[in-house]
């Protein structure tokens, strides 16, 4: 029965009611037990298969399904890892013997810079995103990620940016100032190397943040009905924590990149001490990103271990709450460690002490999870399956790396070994143990899920023992090389001071590691003529092992009702019910891709979300975004602006044609006696969460710029300099008031639209962008009328940077207001369908805060100082 029911009476000032879920929840055992007619099942399967079919032939690249995008993503990241590994081998050849001339000093500089940059930005972080995009929907019994086209867009950005950055090696113009790009070395470097690093990797960071948003919203809103927060797979907990960390760690680097590129391109002196700048600001911003980054790499890999260990032990994980504590606690504490990369920069010893202590404290939550794994293994009956072997190797190596980490956190010890090979040994122990080993173990574990085939047990053991022994042969001696004083990043060294044979051993070990990785790569990629694997080869208990073999593309035949942490072990007749379509949305009668959206904590079903299918606009958007970042590297600003506008056009087209569409009916029968809204707005909608999470990251970037202002104020006696010109207070005040008015108009438009006052809604939405543009103009006048010259000193430069940042956001806010206005005229924005306006209002909440802080800093601070 879909007959529209009569409208309840409504006073003129009441908002129009929104659709709400109707019917029975939770389902009764009787309902779950009722059989489904096999003919109905077949018809449903046919329709689902058609809806979720992948595009064929050359159109395949327009696919957006998580299983496709995830596979491309992880293979691309693995390819970059092999390339970066080759750089490492070439460097080891150069260092095998003293006074070697295999590589020139310049090329060696490019290689170590790109080895670090590629391993971090093109392998470790993207690999987390790739594996999570592949796995997460299956772990949550969802059909796909909430924003499939966003994943595809992120992937194409990553591919373009990665090829651009790595390709620079072939032209001998790669960045060569180290992966952390310290000024003044990097700001003064000749050639486009530093620009390639800054713009190319900023581009990839944007893609990383897009993936983080997608993953967080996936975990919070796309869990299956019944999967309360205390039943969530541990992997999802880690994804939530790591997504949050990316939001707070990457934006400071993007803000730093912005300042850095302004110095390189326009000579704004942020890091030039002669004009009041300070290179230390870059070090802070870089390491506020760089240290959490290490944990961003480590936590998701250890999350794989948290999935393998219960399967190997054939029992539920011991200490679930303790592991959640560990993930969340590590996520927080890892932000208090960044200065331990800067112990030798001459900060007050009191400050060093804080960071040293926090570096020791982070050991506690990190250790707790290892003990929880040990406890699970001790309580269970362990089968030493191949993935478990890799996890065991990971724990051994990571623990060794952790112990040298405890040593290095003591500042006086760090002073002795800073910038020596001891550090190289330590960081490779943590990253191999914390990332490479668990990820390879995870690939062996999940290969039957990804590819529906099996990898070779024998090659896997060969690969493990080669990698494990080779790794220790290569990196264990480096502790000694470092203690004997050999510095990092030197292209050669004199013979006869005790470093020769240690280096030779390390080089031999490096090639053994390479052999191990090659065996793995061959096993991964070789053609496999074998029958499809059984469905649950390791007898796992979590949802991903309910996958279908072969893969029909739909993710989950029906979206299950979950009552246990290990449904395959503990829920009665689970697979039968799932496969026969006994659970939610077993059918696709409208021919649309759908998934169920639930509440954040208790996973009560709220909404059936229509999700996007194959598209070209994401490819166009990625290509033009690439142009907008790549052209400025060569100082070609006109093509860059054209690219940016085209990218914007592609994104607007993508949003307009596929998001927040007015559905055919307000409610839809999703099965088990439940009817869910097909359109929701505000905090119930995944899109609103996407905006909220993106804006948290954006606010962090802005906070980093404000941190810059206060940093200069504490670190520099001449900030602001004597007799400095300040921003015009009248224009600043006008800007603040106009922007508040624009924000108010947007917020009021949201309320009056709900009351169907169409004329007033449109008037407000038309006035809001005019007010916003006037406010942005007033900000520009505030710095141009008094003629603040940004190249003269860091004080006007940082004020300008705040104004540029704020105005760019105002432009985005204006576009969103105009988008809503156009939607109101086109019938896309109605009193019942107002998701776009909710999202715009949310953006403006953040924007008005940004504007007020900018106004306070540039208008009020000079008086306060």
Partner 1 sequence: MEKARHTSLWQMIAAPIVWAVHFCAVYAWTASACAHAGAAEEARLGVALMTLAALGLIAVFAWRAWRQWDLLSENDHVHDAPTDGHRRRFLGHAGLLLSMVSAIGVSFVAAPAFYIGSCL
Interface with partner 1 by CB under 8 A: which residues? Answer: 226, 228-231, 316, 320-322, 324-325, 328-329, 332-333, 335-336, 348-354, 356-358, 360-361, 364-365, 562-565, 600-602, 710, 714-715
322 or 757: whose CB is closer to partner 1?
322
- Minimum distance from residue 360 beta carbon to partner 1 (Å): 6
Minimal distance in Å, beta carbon 316 to partner 1?
7
Nearer to partner 1, 43 or 357 (CB): 357
User: Closest Cα to residue 523, out of 458, 435, 471?
Assistant: 458
Question: In the complex, what is the shortest distance from the CB of residue 321 to partner 1, in angstroms, rounded to a whole number?
Answer: 4
Q: What is the dihedral of CA 740, 745, 751, 754, to 10 degrees?
A: -150
Query: Which CB, 230 or 345, lies closer to partner 1?
Result: 230
Q: C-beta of 862: minimal distance to partner 1 in Å?
A: 17
Q: What 3-state class would DSSP assign to 195?
A: helix
Beta bridge partner(s), residue 677 = 667
Q: Taking the alpha carbons of 448, 454, 457, 459 in that order, is the dihedral positive or negative?
A: negative
Tally the residues of the chain: 865
For the chain, what percentages of helix, strand and coil (3-state, to nearest 5) are there?
Answer: 70, 5, 30
Q: Helix, strand, or coil here: 371? A: helix
Nearer to partner 1, 497 or 715 (CB): 715
Nearer to partner 1, 358 or 855 (CB): 358
Check if the beta carbon of residue 519 is closer than 8 Å to that of residue 463.
Answer: yes
Quickly list DSSP for 391-434. Answer: HHHHHHHHHHHHHHHHHHTSHHHHHHHTTBHHHHHHHHHHHIII
Minimum CB separation of residue 705 from partner 1 in Å reads: 16
What's the closest the beta carbon of residue 839 comes to partner 1, in angstroms? 22
Q: How far is the CB of 627 from partner 1 (least distance, A)?
A: 38
Residues with Cβ < 8 Å from 657, sequence gap 6 or more? 617
Q: Report in angstroms how near the CB of residue 573 gets to partner 1 at its nearest.
A: 17
116 neighbors 178 (Cβ within 8 angstroms): yes
Q: Does residue 562 sit in helix, strand or coil? A: coil
Burial 817-848 (b: 16+ CB within 10 A, else e): bbbbbebbeeebbbbbbbbbbbbbbbbbebbb
Q: 11 or 350, CB closer to partner 1? A: 350
Angle between helix 794-826 and helix 637-658 axes, rounded to 10 deg:
30
CB proximity list for 488: less than 8 A, separation 6 or greater: 419, 420, 421, 423, 424
H-helix segments, 665-793:
686-715, 729-754, 758-784
**Shortest distance in whole angstroms from residue 426 CB to partner 1:** 21
Nearer CB in complex with partner 1: 191/336: 336
With tokens 């090389």, the residue in question is 481
Cβ 506 vs Cβ 92: under 8 Å: yes
Question: For partner 1, which is the closer residue by CB, 307 or 765?
Answer: 307
Output the smallest distance, CB 329 to partner 1, in A.
Answer: 4
* Closer Cβ to partner 1, 166 or 411, answer by number: 411
- The pair phi, psi for residue 845, each rounded to 5°, is -60, -45
Query: In terms of CB distance, is 200 or 244 closer to partner 1?
Result: 244
**Cβ nearer to partner 1, comparing 357 with 645:** 357
- Closer by beta carbon to partner 1, 4 or else 717: 717
Half-sphere exposure of 364 (CA within 13 A, CB side): 9
Least distance (Å) between residue 253 CB and partner 1: 18
The two tokens of residue 759 are: 């004329």
Cβ closest to partner 1, residue 360 vs residue 551: 360
Residue 182 burial (CB count, 10 A): 15
Instruction: Give the nearest distance from C-beta 232 to partner 1 in angstroms.
Output: 10
Task: Write out the DSSP string of 301-321.
Answer: HHHHHHHHHHHHHTSPPS-HH
Q: 442 or 701: whose CB is closer to partner 1?
A: 701
How far is 856 from 724, CA to CA, in rounded Å? 17
Collect all residues with Cβ–Cβ distance below 8 Å to 30 and sequence separation of at least 6: none
798 touches 270 (CB < 8 A): yes
Least distance CB 354 / partner 1 (angstroms): 5
């Amino acid at each position: 029965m879909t007959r529209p029911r009569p409208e309840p009476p409504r006073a003129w000032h009441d908002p129009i009611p929104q659709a709400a879920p109707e019917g029975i929840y939770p389902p009764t055992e009787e309902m779950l037990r009722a059989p489904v007619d096999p003919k109905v099942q077949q018809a449903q399967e046919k329709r689902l298969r058609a809806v979720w079919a992948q595009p064929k032939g050359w159109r395949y690249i327009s696919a957006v399904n998580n299983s496709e995008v995830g596979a491309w993503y992880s293979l691309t990241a693995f390819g970059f890892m092999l390339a970066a590994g080759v750089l490492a081998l070439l460097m080891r050849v150069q260092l095998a013997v003293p006074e070697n001339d295999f590589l020139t000093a310049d090329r060696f500089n490019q290689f170590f810079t790109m080895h670090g940059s590629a391993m971090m930005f093109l392998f470790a972080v993207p690999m987390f995103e790739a594996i999570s995009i592949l796995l997460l929907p299956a772990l949550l019994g969802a059909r796909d990620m909430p924003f499939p086209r966003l994943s595809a867009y992120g992937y194409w950005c990553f591919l373009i940016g990665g090829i651009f950055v790595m390709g620079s090696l072939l032209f001998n113009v790669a960045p060569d100032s180290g992966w952390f790009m310290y000024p003044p070395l990097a700001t003064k470097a000749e050639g486009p190397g530093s620009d390639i690093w800054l713009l190319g990797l900023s581009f990839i960071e944007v893609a990383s943040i897009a993936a983080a948003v997608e993953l967080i919203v996936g975990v919070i809103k796309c869990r299956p009905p019944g999967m309360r927060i205390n039943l969530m797979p541990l992997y999802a907990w880690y994804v939530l924590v790591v997504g949050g960390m990316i939001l707070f760690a990457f934006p400071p680097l993007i803000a730093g990149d912005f300042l850095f590129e302004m110095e390189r391109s326009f000579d704004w002196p942020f890091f030039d001490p002669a004009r009041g700048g300070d290179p230390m600001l870059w070090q802070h911003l870089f390491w506020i990103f760089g240290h959490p980054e290490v944990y961003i790499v480590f936590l998701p890999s250890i999350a794989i271990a948290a999935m393998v260990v219960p399967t190997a032990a054939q029992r539920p994980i011991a200490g679930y709450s303790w592991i959640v504590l560990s993930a969340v606690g590590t996520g927080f504490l890892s932000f208090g460690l960044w200065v331990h990369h800067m112990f030798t920069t001459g900060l007050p010893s009191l400050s060093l002490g804080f960071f040293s202590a926090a570096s020791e404290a982070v050991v506690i939550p990190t250790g707790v999870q290892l003990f929880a794994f040990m406890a699970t293994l001790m309580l269970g009956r362990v089968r030493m399956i191949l993935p478990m072997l890799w996890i065991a190797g990971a724990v051994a190596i990571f623990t060794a790396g952790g112990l040298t980490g405890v040593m290095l956190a003591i500042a006086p010890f760090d002073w002795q070994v800073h910038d020596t090979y001891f550090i190289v040994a330590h960081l490779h122990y943590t990253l191999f143990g914390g990332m490479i080993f668990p990820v390879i173990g995870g690939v062996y574990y999940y290969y039957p899920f990804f590819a529906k085939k099996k990898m070779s047990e024998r090659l896997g053991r060969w690969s493990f023992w080669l990698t494990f022994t080779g790794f220790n042969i290569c990196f264990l001696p480096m502790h000694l090389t470092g203690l004997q004083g050999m510095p990092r990043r030197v292209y050669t060294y004199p013979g006869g001071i005790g470093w020769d044979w240690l280096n030779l051993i390390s080089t031999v070990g490096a090639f053994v590691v390479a052999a191990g990785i090659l065996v793995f790569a061959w096993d991964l990629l070789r053609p496999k003529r074998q029958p499809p694997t059984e469905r649950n080869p390791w007898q796992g208990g979590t949802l991903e092992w309910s996958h279908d073999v072969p893969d029909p593309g739909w993710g989950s035949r029906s979206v299950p009702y979950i009552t246990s942490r290990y449904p395959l072990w503990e829920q009665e007749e689970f697979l039968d019910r799932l496969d026969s379509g006994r659970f939610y949305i077993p059918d696709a009668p409208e021919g649309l891709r759908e998934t169920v959206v639930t509440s954040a904590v208790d996973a009560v079903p709220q909404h059936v979300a229509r999700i996007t299918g194959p598209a070209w606009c994401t490819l166009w958007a990625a290509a033009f975004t690439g142009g907008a970042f790549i052209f400025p590297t060569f100082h070609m600003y006109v093509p860059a602006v054209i690219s940016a506008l085209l990218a914007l056009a592609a994104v607007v087209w993508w949003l307009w044609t596929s998001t927040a569409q007015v559905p055919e009916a307000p409610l839809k029968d999703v099965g088990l006696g439940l009817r869910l809204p097909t359109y929701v707005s505000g905090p119930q909608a995944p899109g609103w969460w996407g905006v909220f999470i993106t804006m948290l990251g954006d606010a962090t970037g802005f906070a980093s710029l404000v941190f810059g202002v206060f940093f200069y104020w504490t670190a520099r006696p001449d900030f602001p300099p004597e007799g400095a010109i300040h921003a015009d207070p009248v224009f600043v005040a006008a800007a603040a008031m106009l922007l508040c008015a624009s924000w108010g108009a947007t917020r009021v438009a949201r309320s009056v639209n709900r009351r169907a006052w169409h004329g007033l809604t449109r008037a407000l939405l038309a006035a809001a962008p005019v007010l916003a543009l006037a406010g942005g103009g007033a900000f520009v006048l505030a710095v141009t009328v008094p003629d603040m010259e940004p190249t003269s000193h860091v004080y006007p430069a940082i004020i300008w940077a705040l104004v540029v940042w704020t105005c760019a956001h105002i432009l985005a806010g204006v576009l969103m207001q105009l988008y809503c206005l156009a939607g109101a005229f086109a019938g896309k924005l109605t009193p019942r369908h107002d998701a776009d306006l909710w999202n715009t209002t949310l953006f403006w909440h953040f924007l008005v805060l940004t504007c007020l802080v900018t106004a306070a800093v540039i208008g009020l601070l000079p008086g306060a100082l």
